[in-house]
Amino acid sequence: MTGRIDGILLAATILATLALPARGDDAPYRLGPQDKVRVRVTEWRSDRGEAFVWEALSGEFAVDAAGRISLPLVGTLEVAGLSAEDVGTLLGDRLQRKVGLVRKPDASVEVAQFRPVYVVGQVDKPGAYAFRPQLTVLQAVGLAGGLYRPGDLGLQRLSREGISARGDLREVATERAALLARRARLDAERRGDGAIAFPEEVADGRFADAVGEERALFDTRRNALRSQLAALAQTKEQLNAEIETLQAKAVSQDRQIALAKKELGNINGLVERGLSINPRLLALEQSVAQLESARLDTQLAISRARQDLSRTDRTALDLKNQQQSTVLVDLRETQMRLTKLQLKADTLRGLLTDTEVVAPRLIEDRLETQRRPTVFTVVRAGLHGAAEEVVGEMAPLRPGDVLKVSNAPIEEGGARADESKARIEDGKSRPPEGKSRPLDGKAVPKPSTALPRRDGIVASVQ
């Protein structure tokens, strides 16, 4: 039952509001979402002779997106479109019925914080700004940093950036030529060529220093490898000669051992027949043992020489493999750097195009736009949706308004711009024909010259 009574009271309040004539800026402010209200509820208690403050209902409360506030004991109140005085009356009635008071308590409601206004378009700092009473269009533009202006030194900055980009491109070209020359040298080393085949783009004389350095490095590395391989080849020849000598010595030692053994056999026969003495036999046996020991030393020397020969071959092969491995690693690194340089060069060319072609056009277009008159358009929510209206710079704003700052378009020789400029200069908030429209797409009659009332109802929207 209480909810039905509250609904009837709310409907009656809104109807009474709609029945009131438009009073311009003197009309009471109507609450809406994002507003904050400060509530204080007091009750006079005659038996004590003092005023009792309802602390639970005192404080600041925000209006939610649905246009309601939630209070202890009382519950939810629909406050969208109501004035602070209306909300106080509604709150007192609801509290009296809810608690069962004999007398209706006094509810004081005031706006603690208005919902913000929004400034968008051709301003320096678009965004939401706190509303204050009697805020005008020009003041809102001032809060947003004023009208947007491109930097006066924009073209000079672009010129410097263009010079810098061209210098970076030349640096990239020089580094790329050096890498191409290096890659040609590495390819020649990998193939074992006797000379470097440089690509045409670095062999035309512009990069003679890079080509000369790579040729010198190629000759140095090739000569160093050749010297090392020649030293190993000489060592190999010496080892082969040593092996041949040792082998000849081994043959001679084998012959000596054979002769010594033959003589030992003869002496052994004479000793058995008693024709020779034992000391001579012992001397021959010692001689054979020494010859066989020397033969083993020679064989060991031959084995060591062959080991040194094999080691020399492995060293020569390792040198070649190491050289090839180094070349392949350098080639991969060089190719990666060339790829990165190509990407950097493409990026610099794009930046150079933007700096020297695209950006100046944009700046010129922006300057041309800035030369056109400024148009201020207010978008305001009403009972039938949002409506927009072209206004003058001294027109007052309301909480929640969206102020769009733009430049008049140029159509048919600038006639539209001249019309907008005249409309703004005479201080009238007269929109162009057919340009006032609600945001929901519904047709709106031609608006009046005055802004909507403070109650949030657009007077020009039926």
What pLDDT was estimated at residue 383?
66
CB 445 within 8 A of CB 16: no
What integer pLDDT is reported at residue 372 of this predicted model?
Answer: 79
Q: Check residue 418 and give its pLDDT.
A: 47
Task: Give me Rg for the CA atoms of the chain.
Answer: 53
How many Å apart are CA 394 and CA 429, to the nearest integer?
9
The pLDDT, as a whole number, for residue 231 is 92
If we measure between CA atoms, which residue out of 42, 116, 128, 35 comes closest to residue 82?
Answer: 35
Q: φ, ψ for residue 45 (rounded to 5)?
A: -110, 105
- Enter the tokens of residue 438: 């609600």
Give exposure, 158-167, as e/b (b: 16+ Cβ within 10 Å). beebbeebee
Alpha carbon distance 3, 1 (integer Å): 5
Q: Could you tell me the mean pLDDT of each successive run of 10 residues in the chain, 462 residues long? A: 43 39 58 84 73 77 84 82 83 79 79 87 89 89 84 64 85 90 91 88 82 90 90 91 90 87 77 68 80 88 90 90 91 93 89 76 69 87 80 89 84 47 43 42 38 35 30
Tokens of 101: 């008071």
What is the reported pLDDT for 29?
82
**pLDDT at residue 5, as a whole number:** 41
Q: What angle do CA 87, 91, 93 make, to 5 degrees?
A: 120
Name residue 10's amino acid. L
CA gap 258, 291 in Å, rounded: 10
- Residue 421: the pLDDT is 44
Within 13 A of 433's CA, how many CA atoms are on the CB side?
A: 2
Contacts of 338 (CB under 8 A, 6+ apart): 176, 179, 180, 183
DSSP string, 294-341: HHHHHHHHHHHHHHHHHHHHHHHHHHHHHHHHHHHHHHHHHHHHHHHH
Rounded Cα gap, residues 169 and 257, in angstroms? 84
The two structure tokens encoding residue 294: 């020397």
- CA-to-CA distance for 416 and 240, rounded, in angstroms? 104
Q: Which of 334, 342, 345 minimizes the C-alpha distance to 170?
A: 345
DSSP H or E segment with residue 388: strand 385-391
| SS3 of residue 372 by DSSP | coil
